[in-house]
Chain A
Amino acid sequence: MDPARKRKIRLVVALGAAVALAAALVYTSFSASTEASKPSQIREGRSYELTGKVVKGSVRHDGDELRFRIRDRDGTTSVPVRYSGVVPDPFREGREVIVSGELRGATFAAERDSLVTKCPSKFTKKET
């Protein structure tokens, strides 16, 4: 096999591998992703990544479980959440959180350890 043809074959193989990887990327990411949603947008039947603020006064520890209500960042619709697992250190009423899970009945059943709390804004313009 002359060198030019060898090179062409190598190029084709490499491109083929790249295309295969790209296809794997696209396919697996769209099928395995969870949709980021607000409490007013979720429906029963699929998993979501719920973002919103913890409603004040709604946090309760019930044995192993943490219960709280989560509401739209700019709204009033709120959903009760049942969560077990690690509670991040910054978790507090009024803070923005992200939690994954699905809606069962009226309550959002959260995946274990999926609670993420955003650190309160430190990098906003300071008032002088």
Chain B
Amino acid sequence: MAGVGSACLVVALLGAVYAAGASLYGVRAGRAEFVASGRRAIYCMAGLLACAMGLLEAAFLRSDFSFAVVAEASSTDTPTFYKVTAMWATQDGSLLLWAFLLTVFASAVLYVTRRSLRAIAPYATAVLAVVAGFFLLLMVAWENPFSTLTRAPVEGNGLNPLLRHPAMMVHPPLLYTGYVGFSIPFAFAIGALVTRRTGADWIRVTRRFALVAWTFLGAGIMLGALWSYTELGWGGYWAWDPVENASLMPWLVGTAFLHSIMVQEKRGMLKVWNVSLVCGTFALALLGTFLVRSGILDSIHAFGASTIGVQFLTFIALVCVVSVGLIISRLPDLRSEARLDSLLSREAFFLLNNLVLLGLALVIFWGTFFPLISEALTGHKASVGPPWFDRLATPLALVLVLLAGIGPVVAWRRITPRNLRRALLLPLAATGTALLALLALTNAADSPPSLAMFCFVAFVLGVVAQEFWRGARARRVMTGEPLPRALLRLAGRNRRRYGGYLVHAGIAVLFLGVAASSAFVQQRDVRLRPGQSARIGDYRVTYQRATADLGADRAGTGAPISIGAVLRVRKGDERTRMLPARNFYPARDASQGPIGPISQFFEGEANSEVDLRWGLRRDFWTAIRPDTTSLVPIARRLDARLAGAGTEAQARAVAALTEVYRRDPPPAAFRLIVSPLVAWIWIGGGIAVLGALVAMWPSPEARLRRVTSTYAARLGRELSRA
């Protein structure tokens, strides 16, 4: 079956070459049949890659260890859900996922535009074919997911326990969908540049794809943060790690793009800016994909030197050179159709928002690549840590949130100062009230940046609420509907606008959570014996007793041993029980020498099973690091003694050993964290995604008009033929 899979990849690669060639020939020679043929080649590629994915997943599901990737990332004792998702834990498998998603998206957009954009679409087809071809070439020549092992091992390595978390497994597909999604506007932008049709048509068609990509990328980033918070033992959600930054940069530039294309659609301005932004977003998306696998930056995620780093870098350089070259050569066609009338206009504020977003992206880029920059400039490799990022990103984030509040209030072209004052009155009042309340009732003033952020968030929420209210009221004046209905109809008929407002509200809430949980978090690391207590904030935490479970870890990750604690948490009259644990997985890494069957459990991978109590006001987070070092020598001695005994005796020995720990545990290290308002980060993100869905949903009226107009066109065509 591996041969069939490889064949799919090879034929898909040939298809990519044909698709590019046929589309380009067809559009230049004016022969529509070749353009159609090239389009079909893309559809075929999608089908072939779907087959390839299916074959590979089947191999995972039946634990066929003759496949190198299956042996690398899966094992017979990996739970089924993780067997399926393990495919993209490997380099080869993730390349396949990327290529598959790309061809599916490409097929979708080419199908939708098959009768429109006839001048641009063939060039877009060629660009998409080249990008897909690049990924296919990487697989066929260097990292084939269907490579087989001449001697199939009996058991695979198993999925890294750190990745055995639902969020972690959904995270790569979401990110890749985001990256891939941005390739669509990029391809059409290149087509528009080549054909000099730099009006807003390429934007109109691809805008929705850009929005979808933005949503998926944002959701993927948030899932990554959620995973870090709930799965890793450090209790934070963002570490400014290079890999995290790599996904955030295209998202920021993509956000700028989504705003500035509105300016081009409405006023015909910012054409150069838009094509540059979309090329930049795509280049950053490729960079993001590459960074995770390159090993050029030290990171928790750095997987060591990669074999495809050079190729990726070459391709990214090619994309940059072609983009810049095309833009410069087409500058005359990219002249603005209008000028900025007034600084008090939505165009001006969008431009400002773009500058802030790009500034933020630049800061992150600089900090992420600083080791390489400093090495190039000074010869020493230096790096900057989270405090530097926080220091520079915070003021930019504050300005961003403030702009998110002012933007919705300002009209296109111009708004008179008097109208602006009137519009800002209520939101400013809300902000002032919030400020007073915060100063009087909380200790928010201890952190001025957080206080400022809270006020700005109140401002944004005030503006959004006012927009909905005033819009509904205006509607009711005309239609007399009841308020709820007016609100729904209002949002329904102006989805882009009100969906966008929801996104702003969601992002504001997200920043509320970030500000509160960064500035006012309380954290303690303590060592406790059973019976001992510790205080954190208003809580009193007592270590009651140890727990040891075999083969039944709470998260269903298939951990053979799970050692933990029962903690009793008291605050006033409230009592809760928390059960942090640590899962131990058998060692498969024989590079340190042979490991005995009993010791393997205490010298293999281990990860934290965090226990967390969500709350709207605060989260209580606990993790444990039990001290199993005393068990290791005993395990080694048992291995020596039971060398010849069967697996049952060994299993009983392991059980006995964990029981020894449970009865009389040495002091364990606990990390206790009380984070205020963390849950609002996830809630805010959810609201933003909801808003994006509203904004991208096609509105029925437009669809109706499109349908009737296509009928009218068809009628016209047929009449002229008669």
Contact, CB under 8 Å: B300 / A33: no
Contact, CB under 8 Å: B370 / A89: no
Shortest CB–CB separation between residue B382 and chain A, in angstroms?
4
Q: Which candidate, A75-83, A101-109, A110-118, is the interface stretch facing chain B?
A: A110-118
Contact, CB under 8 Å: A36 / B302: no
Q: Does B1 make an interface contact (CB < 8 A)?
A: no
Contact, CB under 8 Å: B383 / A33: yes
Q: Does B527 make an interface contact (CB < 8 A)?
A: yes
Taken together as a complex, chains A and B put the C-alpha atoms of A23 and B312 apart, in Å, by: 31
Q: Does B576 make an interface contact (CB < 8 A)?
A: no
Contact, CB under 8 Å: B302 / A118: yes
Taken together as a complex, chains A and B put the C-alpha atoms of A89 and B305 apart, in Å, by: 21
Q: Which of these, A3, A34, A125, contacts B382 with CB under 8 Å?
A: A34
Q: Does B76 make an interface contact (CB < 8 A)?
A: no
- A contacts with B, residue count (CB < 8 A): 48
Identity of the chain B residue whose Cβ is nearest the Cβ of A64 in the assembled complex:
B527
Contacts of A7 in B (CB 8 A): 339-340
Identity of the chain B residue whose Cβ is nearest the Cβ of A89 in the assembled complex:
B607
Contacts of B380 in A (CB 8 A): 35-36
Shortest CB–CB separation between residue B56 and chain A, in angstroms?
15
Contact, CB under 8 Å: A32 / B304: no
Contact, CB under 8 Å: A119 / B374: no
Q: Does B72 make an interface contact (CB < 8 A)?
A: yes
Contact, CB under 8 Å: A100 / B605: no
Q: Considering the complex, which residues of chain A in the window 1-15 have a beta carbon less than 8 Å from any beta carbon of chain B?
A: 3, 7, 10, 14
Contacts of B89 in A (CB 8 A): 122
Q: Does B337 make an interface contact (CB < 8 A)?
A: no
Could you count the A-B residue pairs with CB atoms below 8 Å apart for me: how many are there? 139
Q: Considering the complex, which residues of chain A in the window 40-71 have a beta carbon less than 8 Å from any beta carbon of chain B?
A: 49, 51, 56, 61, 63-64
Shortest CB–CB separation between residue A47 and chain B, in angstroms?
10
Q: Considering the complex, which residues of chain B in the window 277-330 have a beta carbon less than 8 Å from any beta carbon of chain A?
A: 293, 295, 298-307
Taken together as a complex, chains A and B put the C-alpha atoms of A116 and B359 apart, in Å, by: 29
- B contacts with A, residue count (CB < 8 A): 65
Contact, CB under 8 Å: B392 / A24: yes
Contacts of A88 in B (CB 8 A): 232-234, 300
Q: A116-B300, A122-B90 are in contact. Are A29 and B233 (CB under 8 A)?
A: no
Q: Considering the complex, which residues of chain A in the window 69-99 have a beta carbon less than 8 Å from any beta carbon of chain B?
A: 84-90, 92-94, 98
Contacts of A49 in B (CB 8 A): 382-383
Contacts of B589 in A (CB 8 A): 120
Shortest CB–CB separation between residue B246 and chain A, in angstroms?
15
Q: Which of these, B362, B392, B592, B608, contacts A93 with CB under 8 Å?
A: B592
Identity of the chain A residue whose Cβ is nearest the Cβ of B308 in the assembled complex:
A123
Contact, CB under 8 Å: B147 / A25: no
Contact, CB under 8 Å: B72 / A90: no
Q: A29-B370, A86-B234, A93-B592 are in contact. Are A118 and B300 (CB under 8 A)?
A: yes
Contacts of A56 in B (CB 8 A): 592
Q: Which of these, B340, B384, B629, B669, contacts A64 with CB under 8 Å?
A: B669
Contact, CB under 8 Å: B382 / A35: yes
Kindly name the residue among B234, B382, B591 whose own CB sees the greatest number of chain A CB atoms within 10 A.
Answer: B382
Taken together as a complex, chains A and B put the C-alpha atoms of A100 and B355 apart, in Å, by: 34
Contacts of B339 in A (CB 8 A): 3, 7
Q: Does B149 make an interface contact (CB < 8 A)?
A: yes
Shortest CB–CB separation between residue A21 and chain B, in angstroms?
6
Shortest CB–CB separation between residue B4 and chain A, in angstroms?
19
Contact, CB under 8 Å: B391 / A28: yes
Q: Which residues of A contact B (CB under 8 A)?
A: 3, 7, 10, 14, 17-18, 21, 24-25, 28-30, 32-36, 49, 51, 56, 61, 63-64, 84-90, 92-94, 98, 100, 113, 116-126, 128
Q: Which residues of B contact A (CB under 8 A)?
A: 68, 72-73, 89-91, 147-150, 160-162, 232-234, 293, 295, 298-307, 339-340, 343, 355, 359, 362-363, 366-367, 370-371, 374, 380-385, 387-388, 391-392, 525, 527, 589, 591-592, 603, 605-608, 625, 627, 629, 669, 671
A-B contacts, 11 listed (Cβ < 8 Å): A21-B363, A30-B374, A32-B385, A33-B384, A33-B388, A34-B384, A64-B669, A84-B525, A89-B162, A100-B385, A120-B589
